[in-house]
Amino acid sequence: MTKEPSRSTAPIIRVQDLRKKYGQFEAVKGISFEVYPGEIFGLLGPNGAGKSTTLEIMETLREKTSGKVQIAGFDLDADPSAIKRIIGVQLQASGYYPGLNLIQLLELFAGLYNRAINPMDFLALVDLKEKAKAKFKDLSGGQKQRFSIATTLINEPQIIFLDEPTTGLDPQARRNLWDLIAGIRAKGTTVILTTHYMDEAEVLCDRVAIIDSGKIIALASPDELIDQLVATGFERPKEVKRANLEDVFIHMTGKALRRDV
């Protein structure tokens, strides 16, 4: 997938010394990072690291305890509604009205944003035109994720936030989603995503922040992080394989989308 350097411009997101306490427990312990326009930026880390908390604060959906967040020049404390207008947020599946089909759901979202859209255009973007009349609950895991990504695009956002977009998907559906996310970025949208799949981050992300127990312990491009590790004398214990089991699986079952994907 193409990776586009984009450092010549000012950051589109600035997070400075961000902290979040849940009662006495500090889930985010003073993290700082910047994201540049057109990047795919990954927040990586094990469960409980503080990825979703950080994302939800940037999305204006969760209060921070302290720190400074600026998104596209808007300060989170001063102007959250301006931020809401220029970002796309993936909602949890439970947020979808069960009685509505995909077209009706997209129309509902468009109404919330006060936008006139053609729902079929958005379904085409995520390869779901054939499911236009289906209910969300009747979609496969990959289809659900693709639909929820379509909903993030309705207000033509500058930035979209995706929280573990590929967790629980099979290899074909995951790769299909990587293509979709790379395609959204290719049109100029900045993408912030969380994942605990390192292969995904390596393929998709321009830069990643590794978060552990609420702190950023590394921040660089995947290649830079790998080079830094190799420079310490690190070697894999075994001879590097020229393919892995996932390659075998994809080779045998095909990369093409399944009807169910």
Q: Which of 3, 14, 19, 27 binds ligand ADP (CB under 6 A)?
A: 27
Least Cβ distance, residue 196 to ligand ADP (angstroms): 8
Sign of CA dihedral 7, 9, 13, 17: positive
- Which of ligand ADP, Mg ion, none does residue 95 bind (CB under 5 to 8 Å by kind)? none
Type of residue found at 186: A
Question: CA-CA-CA-CA torsion for 236, 237, 243, 248, nearest 10 degrees?
Answer: -130
- Between 52 and 189, CB nearer to Mg ion: 52
- Which of ligand ADP, Mg ion, none does residue 100 bind (CB under 5 to 8 Å by kind)? none
Least Cβ distance, residue 194 to ligand ADP (angstroms): 6
- Between 105 and 149, CB nearer to Mg ion: 149
Give the range of 11-19, 43-51, 149-157, 235-243 binding ligand ADP by CB under 6 A: 43-51
- Between 38 and 45, CB nearer to ligand ADP: 45
Sheet holding 74-75, edge to edge: 25-35, 13-22, 66-71, 74-75
Does residue 145 sit in helix, strand or coil? helix
Q: Is 127 left (phi over 0), alpha (psi -120 to 50) or beta?
A: left
- Within 71-195, residue ranges assigned H as helices are 80-86, 102-112, 119-125, 141-152, 171-186
45 contacts ligand ADP (rule: CB under 6 A): yes
Give the range of 2-10, 47-55, 114-122, 176-184 binding ligand ADP by CB under 6 A: 47-55
Let me know if 9 is exposed, middle or buried by CB neighbors in 10 A (0-12, 13-18, 19+).
Answer: exposed
Residue 21 to residue 44: CA distance in whole angstroms: 20
Residues in the chain: 261
- Between 14 and 196, CB nearer to Mg ion: 196
- Which of Mg ion, ligand ADP, none does residue 145 bind (CB under 5 to 8 Å by kind)? none
Q: Which of 18, 31, 49, 159 binds ligand ADP (CB under 6 A)?
A: 49
List residues near Mg ion by CB under 5 A.
51-52
Q: Which of 24, 47, 81, 114 binds ligand ADP (CB under 6 A)?
A: 47
State the DSSP string of 215-258. EEEEEE-HHHHHHHHHHTT---SSPPPSS-HHHHHHHHH-SSPP
- Which of ligand ADP, Mg ion, none does residue 50 bind (CB under 5 to 8 Å by kind)? ligand ADP
- Between 26 and 127, CB nearer to ligand ADP: 26
- Which of Mg ion, ligand ADP, none does residue 24 bind (CB under 5 to 8 Å by kind)? none
Least Cβ distance, residue 190 to ligand ADP (angstroms): 20
- By CB under 6 A, name the binding residues for ligand ADP: 22, 27, 45, 47-53
